[in-house]
Each structure stands twice: as structure tokens, then as C-alpha cells.
């Protein structure tokens, strides 16, 4: 049976991290190679550290070893696939187009993930989706402000 708990942390982390990187780096005037590199680093290095942290947490909670391993692997694969979808957009499109599309794609993915989690929890999806999208929008705005500030401060 499909469990959203297997993809919810990895998916939401990959979406939020990718949108933050793209909005901040875009505001700082980063080039396509810089944006793609940052996303790939998040897809691999940050993902591995998060997966290790989740695995150690699950072990500390004395979760069954097979269940902990399955959770770790599903987190890693989910984050990797989500990040790769963002990298693909950067690869295929001009940076100016990719940046906006990545935010839209991230919001769509987050709304879909939130909807699945809400349905599994048997709660109203609309309010959950709105709350999560507002948090994601805040992440994007703050990241963009940081990128703009860094770009101005380091000139």
C-alpha cells in the first residue's frame, strides 16, 4: 500500500529547498551553471545528510530495521527525483524562464503532496494546501530578498 509518509518529508524538503535556492540565486543574478550546480548539490549532498539523519532518528525511535531502511531509501529517492525535475527545467530552458517555472512547478508539486497527505489523514485538503503554499511562498520571498541583498551588498 502507498503511504504518503514515505514521501512527505523528502518531497516537501526537496520542493522547498529547490524553490529557495532558485529564487535566492536568481535574485543574486546566478548563471545557469550555478543554479544547476546548487540544485545538484542539494539533490545529492543535502539529500544524503537528510537521509542519514532520518535513518538515525528512526533507529533512535527503535523502528523496525526494515521499516527504517525503507523510509530512508524512499526519502532519498523522492528527494532525488524531485530535485532532478527542477534541474531538468534549468537544463532545458533559459534561466529567466526556468526560474518562474520552477516556482510554479514546486507549488504544484507541494499542493499535490499536501492534498494526498490531507486525504490520507481524512481532513479538509483546501485549508491544508493554502497553509502549505503560504509557507512555501514565504520561503521564496525570504530567499529572493536574501539573494537581492547579497547581490547589492557584494557589489
| DSSP per position, 16-83 | HHHHHHHHHHHHTT--HHHHHHHHHHIIIIIHHHHHHHHHHHHHHTT--HHHHHHHHHHHHHHHHHHH
Digitized pLDDT (tens) for each residue of the chain, 155 residues in all: 556 766 777 789 999 999 999 999 999 999 999 999 999 999 999 889 988 888 888 888 887 888 778 878 888 898 999 999 999 999 999 988 999 999 999 999 999 999 999 998 899 999 999 999 999 999 999 999 999 999 999 87
Instruction: Say what the pLDDT of residue 47 is.
Output: 87
Instruction: Say what the pLDDT of residue 1 is.
Output: 52
Contacts of 149 (CB under 8 A, 6+ apart): none
Total domains in the fold of the chain: 1
- Given a contact cutoff of 8 angstroms between Cβ atoms, the answer to whether 78 and 110 are in contact is no
- pTM of the predicted model as reported, rounded to 2 decimal places: 0.89
Instruction: Say what the pLDDT of residue 65 is.
Output: 82
Instruction: Say what the pLDDT of residue 2 is.
Output: 58
94, containing H or E segment? none
Instruction: Say what the pLDDT of residue 148 is.
Output: 95
Range of the domain at 60: 5-153
Q: Among 50, 45, 42, 44, which Cα is nearest to 143's? A: 42
Amino acid at each position: 500500500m502507498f503511504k504518503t509518509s514515505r514521501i512527505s518529508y523528502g518531497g516537501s524538503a526537496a520542493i522547498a529547498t529547490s524553490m529557495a535556492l532558485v529564487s535566492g540565486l536568481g535574485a543574486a543574478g546566478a548563471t545557469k551553471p550555478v543554479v544547476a550546480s546548487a540544485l545538484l548539490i542539494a539533490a545529492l549532498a543535502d539529500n544524503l545528510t537528510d537521509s542519514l539523519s532520518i535513518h538515525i532518528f528512526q533507529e533512535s525511535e527503535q523502528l523496525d530495521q526494515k521499516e527504517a531502511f525503507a523510509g530512508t531509501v524512499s526519502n532519498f529517492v523522492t528527494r532525488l527525483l524531485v530535485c532532478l525535475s527542477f534541474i531538468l527545467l534549468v537544463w532545458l530552458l533559459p534561466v529567466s524562464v526556468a526560474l518562474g517555472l520552477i516556482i510554479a512547478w514546486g507549488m504544484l508539486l507541494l499542493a499535490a503532496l499536501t492534498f494526498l497527505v490531507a486525504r490520507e489523514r481524512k481532513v479538509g485538503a483546501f485549508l491544508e494546501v493554502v497553509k502549505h503554499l503560504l509557507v512555501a511562498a514565504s520561503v521564496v520571498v525570504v530567499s529572493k530578498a536574501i539573494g537581492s541583498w547579497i547581490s547589492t551588498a557584494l557589489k
